[in-house]
Amino acid sequence: MPSVGLGLLGCADIAIRKVLPALTPESGMRLVAVASRTPEKAKEAAARFNTRAVTGYQELLTDPEVEAVYIPLPPALRAPWIRAALDAGKHVFAEKPLTTNAQETAALAARASASGLTLMENYMFVHHAQHEYVRTLLSEGAIGELRTMQAAFTIPPRPPTDHRLDTALGGGALLDGAGYPIRAAQYFLGDDLTVLGASLRRSAPDAVDTAGAALLRTATGITAHITFGMEHFYVSRYQLLGTKGQITVDHAFTTPADHRPVIRMDHQNHQEQRTLTPDNQCANTLTRFATAVRTGTPTDIATSVAQSRIVEAIGNAAAR
């Protein structure tokens, strides 16, 4: 298949540091332009990745060589530019969360579908082979019947200028880090999850939430306890507890490409560790997006819409 011409809309750190370096020929995409509102930023990024610099986002959307755009802008700024990109006939690969509310996420998903365009949210970890391996263990009854799971993603305090601390930009731990454990719960339990209760921590009434937890449940009674925060020791883990054992996965969400995952299984009288081969979740994600663009294969956008409703329900439950 011919490679997809990709344009970068906004020179965010995650794009420069993680995503663009993974744009190899094997990914099925090629970088054709980078856009910033600041000409110097665009030129610097373009020189680093040997591509064209564009000043202003709208100019990128009118570029005929750009078939798809990657949007890593802060959460509150994403929705208008996702909409503008779709209206310009571009496929969209955007950072998480797609928007700051469930209604807008659903509307953008419907807009993409109606236009025959691909819209994909950048949750890389679900494309890492270790999680499919764990799902296979569950289906084979390695820990009996699944009863409950715990998932946590916490990071150390951010610098004062970080957009995650800015309410106007859609900051807060719920919109940022909570997505990982929520998506893990959806990955293993499905999208039909009810929020039983939740708590969010703020340093002041008008400040962003910096920590939180929630209890989710499936229709059949399997529960998921999720923890998230950005003033913590770094944790990236989930545990699945069954009737005959438990599975634990560390380094679960932001797994480096050279990391050898270790799947730990605890049983009544023994513990087993299985070491897997490294996998590049970023490259896998880009390949998945390129394939969807070229073949029309559905992405997991329906799961993104469901997740946005869960996030909103957690916020509402915490406010009671």
Name the residues annotated as catalytic: 96
**Distant-in-sequence, close-in-space partners of 34: CB < 8 Å, separation ≥ 6:** 7, 8, 11, 42, 45, 46, 49, 51, 52, 53, 54
Greatest alpha-carbon pair distance for the chain in Å reads 63
The structure tokens 């050279």 sit at: 258
Taking each helix axis as running N to C, give the angle between helix 301-319 and helix 179-189, from 0 to 180 degrees, rounded to the nearest 10: 120
Reading the block at residue 307, the tokens are 């997740």
| Residues 310/316/318/320 CA torsion (nearest 10 deg) | -150
CA distances from 28 to 2, 21, 74, 218, 274 (A): 7, 13, 26, 37, 32
Looking at residue 225, the DSSP 8-state letter turns out to be E
Q: Which residues are paired to 279 by β-bridges?
A: none
Q: Report d(CA 259, CA 277) in Å as an integer.
A: 8
The structure tokens 């909103």 sit at: 312
